């Protein structure tokens, strides 16, 4: 008598959940035993891998997209990138059934147009089968299909020392944060993402908050609290030590974002986070070699690749960008440009210029109207020589050039030029010029 053959399980091409949760298990259904499915050997998946170059450069070709891809990531083996067949932007969910957090609204780290950010401590999950799967939530508690032993063998989620919880400031902000979660989920699928963007632990579906890794401080607060409060001699020494590493890592990160098809859209010191290797986060007590520098706040970000998602990604374009850091091409009334890697590079160059000067080069403007006119003209290196801070600006730029043995102003002129006909280097080219100039 012939042994009955098991029916073939229907396989759905989708990204696996980060962590099994009761709600997903309860909604699973076993395949019907009465459906006749022809048993054929599975097709061997074609695996296209892309070796990581020995240098720190990102590949010049963007991730390849398939018009009808499987959506399944290729295996990560050795020094290989993920093979992104499609741009998967379904938001990664924070696994609050496994681990949770608690925060006090008095511990506010910052706020923006769409959200407030609070410092939170990791805590054990408060969820139970009665309050998560009970009738109140409209989900029946059914026995899990997957054996319990297998669930226990799964790896637990990585829990940092502290979280930064980005909470919607209003009801309408939930859609903005969900779009940001989609961008972060897509970028976080690349294992190299943690070198360039803040670690994203998921979207908390209970309150629409983003759960992020807490960092020491923003670049803006480091400039205001540490750098600008030091004596000019101490400031010059700190800047000479920090600047090459901060600039190099941010330029590498910008190249990586462009390679992933992402335009940040609002690069500025407040949207760059730093952490130091030792306790307090003070530069005087830590080394720059152990320093992390990453981008955050992707609420204005856009993706150039088509996304495979039930909900399209829409950036918070209303009021997006900060005037002092905006590229003049975005402000042109005749031929306005859209945000792009090139406009991101201008914003990063302005951010690094503010790091050197300790202030905006447009602070010489006596009014907001005149200041915006200066910004539209796009010559920050000229305006930094005007006003009460002109002498200080020149001294700080010259001091950094002498300390590095490199003409820093000339380096800035490669990007921050009002002449639209000159060649503007890519982020990688601009970084290499810095590294070669100071022999890093």
What would the 3-class secondary structure string for 406-418 be? CCHHHHHHCCCCC
Collapse the DSSP code of 161 into the 3-class scheme (helix H, G, I; strand E, B; otherwise coil) and give the result: coil
Flag whether pLDDT at 342 surpasses 50: yes
- Is 344 within 8 Å of 264 (Cβ atoms)? yes
Flag whether pLDDT at 8 surpasses 70: no
Q: Do 347 and 423 fall into the same domain?
A: yes
Flag whether pLDDT at 383 surpasses 50: yes
Flag whether pLDDT at 189 surpasses 50: yes
Q: Do 228 and 185 fall into the same domain?
A: no
Could you give the strand order of the β-sheet that contains 209-213, starting from the edge strand earlier in sequence? 99-111, 115-124, 163-168, 209-213, 200-204
- Range with the poorest average pLDDT among 98-107, 194-203, 297-306: 297-306
Residue 307 in domain? yes
Q: Do 253 and 385 fall into the same domain?
A: yes
- Domain with residue 179: its CATH number is 3.30.200.20
pLDDT mean over 359-368: 96
Confidence band for 276, pLDDT divided at 50, 70 and 90: confident
First-to-final CA distance of the chain: 75
Q: At what angle do helices 341-357 and 390-404 cross, to 10 degrees?
A: 100
Q: Do 199 and 231 fall into the same domain?
A: no
Q: What is the pLDDT of residue 5?
A: 55
Residue 389 in domain? yes
**CA 209 → CA 114, 181, 236, 262, distances in Å?**
11, 9, 40, 22
Residue 21 in domain? no
Q: Do 79 and 104 fall into the same domain?
A: no
Q: Do 183 and 267 fall into the same domain?
A: no
- Domain with residue 313: its CATH number is 1.10.510.10
Flag whether pLDDT at 125 surpasses 60: yes
d(CA 347, CA 327): 6
pLDDT mean over 357-368: 96
Q: Token pair for residue 207?
A: 């309150």
Using a pLDDT cut of 70, give the percent of the chain over it.
Answer: 67
Q: Do 197 and 225 fall into the same domain?
A: no
Pick the more confident residue, 288 or 300. Answer: 300
Q: What is the pLDDT of residue 318?
A: 42
pLDDT mean over 416-428: 89
Residue 206 in domain? yes
Flag whether pLDDT at 317 surpasses 60: no
The pTM for the full model equals: 0.74
> Cα angle vertex 19, ends 18, 22, to 5°?
135
Residue tagged 């800035």 (tokens): 412
Q: What is the pLDDT of residue 312?
A: 53
Helix (H) or strand (E) holding 272: strand 272-275
Q: What is the pLDDT of residue 389?
A: 97
- Is 38 within 8 Å of 58 (Cβ atoms)? no
Q: Do 272 and 335 fall into the same domain?
A: yes
Q: Do 383 and 360 fall into the same domain?
A: yes
d(CA 92, CA 100): 15
What dihedral do alpha carbons 391, 397, 398, 402 form, nearest 10°?
Answer: 150
Q: What is the pLDDT of residue 86?
A: 54
pLDDT mean over 307-328: 67
Pick the last residue of a domain from 164, 188, 213.
213
Flag whether pLDDT at 30 surpasses 90: no
> What is the span of the domain harbouring residue 67?
46-85
- Is 243 within 8 Å of 355 (Cβ atoms)? yes
Pick the last residue of a domain from 193, 213, 233.
213
Q: Do 282 and 383 fall into the same domain?
A: yes
Q: Do 111 and 223 fall into the same domain?
A: no
Residue 419 in domain? yes
Residue 73 in domain? yes
* Averaged pLDDT of the chain: 78
Pick the more confident residue, 180 or 135. Answer: 180
Flag whether pLDDT at 46 surpasses 90: no
pLDDT mean over 257-265: 97
pLDDT digits (tens, 9 = 90+) for 205-249: 999 999 999 999 999 999 999 999 999 999 999 999 999 999 999
pLDDT mean over 302-324: 65
pLDDT digits (tens, 9 = 90+) for 49-93: 444 444 445 554 555 433 333 333 333 333 334 444 456 789 999
Q: How many residues does the chain have?
A: 440
Q: What is the pLDDT of residue 50?
A: 43
Residue 39 in domain? no
Q: What is the pLDDT of residue 28?
A: 43
pLDDT mean over 393-403: 98
Q: What's the number of domains the chain is made of? A: 3
Strands, E assignment, 33-172? 87-88, 99-111, 115-124, 163-168
pLDDT digits (tens, 9 = 90+) for 319-339: 467 999 999 999 987 777 899
Q: What is the pLDDT of residue 126?
A: 82
Q: At what angle do helices 232-259 and 390-404 cross, to 10 degrees?
A: 80
Residue 25 in domain? no
Q: What is the pLDDT of residue 123?
A: 94
Pick the last residue of a domain from 165, 193, 213.
213
Q: Do 58 and 178 fall into the same domain?
A: no
d(CA 351, CA 359): 10
């Amino acid at each position: 008598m012939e042994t009955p053959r098991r029916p073939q399980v229907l396989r759905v091409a989708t990204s696996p959940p980060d962590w099994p949760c009761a709600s997903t298990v309860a909604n699973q259904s076993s395949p019907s035993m009465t459906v006749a499915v022809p048993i054929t050997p599975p097709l061997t998946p074609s695996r296209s891998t892309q070796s990581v170059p020995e240098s720190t450069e990102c590949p010049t070709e963007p991730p390849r997209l398939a018009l009808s891809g499987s959506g399944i990531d290729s295996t990560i083996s050795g020094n290989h990138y993920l093979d992104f067949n499609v741009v998967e932007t379904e938001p990664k969910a924070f696994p609050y059934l496994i681990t949770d957090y608690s925060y006090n609204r008095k511990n506010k780290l910052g706020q923006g147009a769409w959200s407030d950010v609070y410092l939170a401590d990791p805590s054990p999950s408060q969820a139970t089968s009665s309050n998560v799967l009970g009738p109140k939530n409209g989900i029946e508690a059914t026995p899990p299909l997957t054996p319990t032993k297998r669930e226990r063998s799964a790896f637990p989620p990585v829990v940092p020392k502290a979280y930064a919880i980005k909470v919607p400031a209003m009801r309408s902000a939930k859609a903005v944060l969900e779009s940001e979660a989609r961008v972060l989920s897509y970028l976080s699928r690349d294992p190299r993402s943690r070198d360039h963007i803040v670690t994203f632990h998921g979207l908390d579906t209970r309150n629409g908050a983003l759960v992020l890794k807490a960092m020491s401080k923003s670049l803006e607060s480091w400039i205001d609290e540490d750098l600008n409060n030091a004596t000019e001699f101490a400031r010059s020494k700190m800047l000479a030590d920090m600047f090459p590493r901060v600039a190099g890592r941010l330029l590498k990160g910008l190249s990586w974002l462009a390679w992933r098809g992402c335009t940040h859209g609002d690069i500025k010191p407040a949207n760059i986070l730093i952490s130091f290797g030792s306790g307090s986060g003070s530069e005087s007590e830590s080394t720059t070699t152990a320093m992390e520098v990453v981008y955050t706040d992707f609420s204005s970000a856009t993706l150039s690749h088509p996304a495979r998602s039930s909900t399209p990604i829409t950036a918070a374009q209303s009021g997006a960008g900060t005037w002092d850091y905006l590229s003049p091409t975005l402000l042109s009334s005749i031929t306005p440009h859209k945000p792009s890697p090139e406009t991101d590079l201008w914003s990063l160059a302005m951010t690094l210029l503010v790091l050197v000067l300790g202030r905006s080069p447009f602070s010489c403007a006596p009014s907001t109207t005149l200041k915006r006119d200066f910004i539209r003209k796009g010559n920050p290196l000229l305006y930094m020589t005007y006003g009460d801070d002109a002498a200080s600006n020149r001294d700080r730029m010259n001091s950094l050039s002498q300390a590095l043995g490199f003409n820093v102003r000339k380096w800035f002129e490669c990007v921050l030029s009002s002449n639209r006909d000159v060649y503007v280097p890519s982020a990688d080219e601009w970084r290499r010029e810095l590294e070669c100039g100071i022999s890093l």
